[in-house]
Copies of this chain bind each other. A is one copy, B any other.
Amino acid sequence: MTDTDNNSLPERKRGSGVKMVYDLLRDEILDLVLPPGSPIDEVQLAERFKLSRTPIREALVRLAGEGLIDTLPNRSTMVSNIDFLNLHTFFEALVLMYRVTTRLAAQNHRPEDLPVIRGFHEDYAAAVQSRDALAMIATNAAFHAAIAEAGRNPYFTGLFRRLLDEGRRILRLYYQSYEEQFPQRFVDEHAEIIAAIEARDVEAADRLGKAHAEQIVEQVQKLFTRNNKLDIDL
């Protein structure tokens, strides 16, 4: 393959460039293809996507708005760091949002939501089966995001999505070096959560969501203390 392999994307629709750049950079940041601290070069991206700097910049502004990149005025822009020192605030918010979104899903879900949730549940089970850590991370986030959507509170789903994104980075950080796996227990808990939602048992959904979240937090913290030598880098 030569450097003239731009025949696959010869012409794009008018507003699609920014979205493409935004989506791709976002994925690369969340998957740690671009690790925290990586410099983001506008001209380099412009060449890569065969675009001018203007749409690149628009995508970067959006990413900065979500806190995924940090921009130093008149200087460089880079992938934002993970704030390990205040990780407890992240867990705190994550647990609460797990609770709230699961509870609201039990309250407000519609019949058409359940197949979607079940679909991600099965994807997650398959990822566990095949011990694919990265797929576990992604499908777990998708599963809970779907539950949040069924809860139908855009303010909560907005925050929750951001938290799940950040969690994707954190998990990815640890699962890339240590081939850990989420226990089967999580799959079972997911099934319980679905049952509670379907039964519209709000209190059970709340309780299960909280317990599940705390399981995950505990799991992550266990990984942390085990390889806390990484923390010294900060």
Chain A contacts with B in 60-93, Cβ cutoff 8 A: 61-62, 65-66, 73-74, 86, 89-90, 92-93
Q: Is the interface of A mostly helix, strand, loop or mixed?
A: helix
- A1-28 CB mask vs B (1 if < 8 Å, else 0) is 0000000000000110000000000000
Chain A contacts with B in 157-205, Cβ cutoff 8 A: 158-159, 162-163
Bound Cα distance from A139 to B233, whole angstroms: 42
Knowing A15-B74, A62-B61, A65-B62 touch, does A90 contact B159 (C-beta < 8 A)? no
- A24-66 CB mask vs B (1 if < 8 Å, else 0) is 0000000000000000000000000000001001100110011
Tell me if A152 counts as interface (CB < 8 A to partner B): yes
From B61, B73, B152, A61 is in contact (CB under 8 Å) with B61
Tell me if A227 counts as interface (CB < 8 A to partner B): no
B93 touches A153 (CB 8 A): yes
Residues in B whose Cβ lies below 8 Å from that of A217: none
A89 touches B152 (CB 8 A): yes
Bound Cα distance from A202 to B190, whole angstroms: 32
Copies in the complex: 2
Tell me if A96 counts as interface (CB < 8 A to partner B): yes
Tell me if A100 counts as interface (CB < 8 A to partner B): yes
Knowing A155-B163, A159-B158, A159-B159 touch, does A14 contact B89 (C-beta < 8 A)? no
Bound Cα distance from A155 to B156, whole angstroms: 11
In the complex formed, the residue of B with least CB distance to A92 is B153
* Distance to closest chain B CB from A4 (angstroms): 31
Tell me if A154 counts as interface (CB < 8 A to partner B): yes
In this complex, which of A15, A89, A100 has the most chain B Cβ atoms within 10 angstroms of its Cβ?
A: A89
Bound Cα distance from A86 to B15, whole angstroms: 30
B62 touches A14 (CB 8 A): no
Residues in B whose Cβ lies below 8 Å from that of A93: 153, 155-156
| 7 nearest CB pairs, A to B | A65-B65, A93-B155, A89-B153, A159-B159, A15-B73, A61-B61, A58-B61
